[in-house]
């Protein structure tokens, strides 16, 4: 199973993207955890876990103070360079659930304009240890 590492040269990245797109055809329609021994060596110790499906890749990071971040992107690249954009709320919720966090509260962060970092079409969910006080709940 191919996972696209961030440290590749432009040419290596293009080759890896083509391999990833071929893998999409045989990947599960649901998120499946990538075994540690199949993770790229450079990702071991950086990423806690990786999940992959036909359409999505999710990586779990342990941030400072033990905060968990689930980074999600599509597995196709229409222009051969950037991940496809347009992950819907429903798709993001489904990926979160399929990665084992169905019972977790999660938030996305929209920073002030001068702090925006937008280098890839990746969505980031911060998994919260408890429900936020501002969350809506079912009556």
Q: What is the mean pLDDT of the chain?
A: 87
Residue-wise pLDDT for 117-131, tens only, equals: 888 899 999 999 999
68-92 average pLDDT score? 90
- Distance, in Å, from the CA atom of 99 to the CA atom of 72, rounded to the nearest integer, reads 11
CATH match of 10-128 with 3.40.1350: no
pLDDT digits (tens, 9 = 90+) for 60-71: 999 988 899 999
CB-CB contact of 22 with 77 (8 Å): no
Predicted TM-score (pTM) of the model is: 0.83
Contacts of 109 (CB under 8 A, 6+ apart): 124, 126
Whole-angstrom distance, CA of residue 71 vs CA of residue 96? 10
More confident residue, 101 or 39: 101
Whose tokens are 């961030």? That residue is: 6
């Amino acid at each position: 199973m191919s996972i696209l590492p961030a440290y590749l040269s432009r040419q290596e990245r293009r080759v890896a993207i083509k391999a990833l797109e071929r893998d999409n055809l045989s990947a599960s329609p649901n998120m499946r955890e990538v075994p540690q021994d199949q993770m790229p060596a450079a990702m071991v110790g950086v990423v806690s876990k990786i999940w992959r499906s036909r359409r999505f890749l999710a990586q779990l990071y342990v941030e400072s103070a033990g905060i968990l971040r689930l980074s999600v992107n599509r597995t196709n690249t229409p222009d051969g360079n950037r991940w496809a954009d347009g992950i819907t709320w429903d798709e993001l919720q489904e990926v979160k659930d399929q990665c084992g966090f169905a019972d977790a509260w999660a938030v996305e962060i929209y920073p002030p304009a001068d702090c925006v970092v937008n280098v890839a079409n990746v969505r980031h969910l911060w998994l919260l240890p408890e429900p936020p006080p501002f969350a809506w709940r079912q009556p």
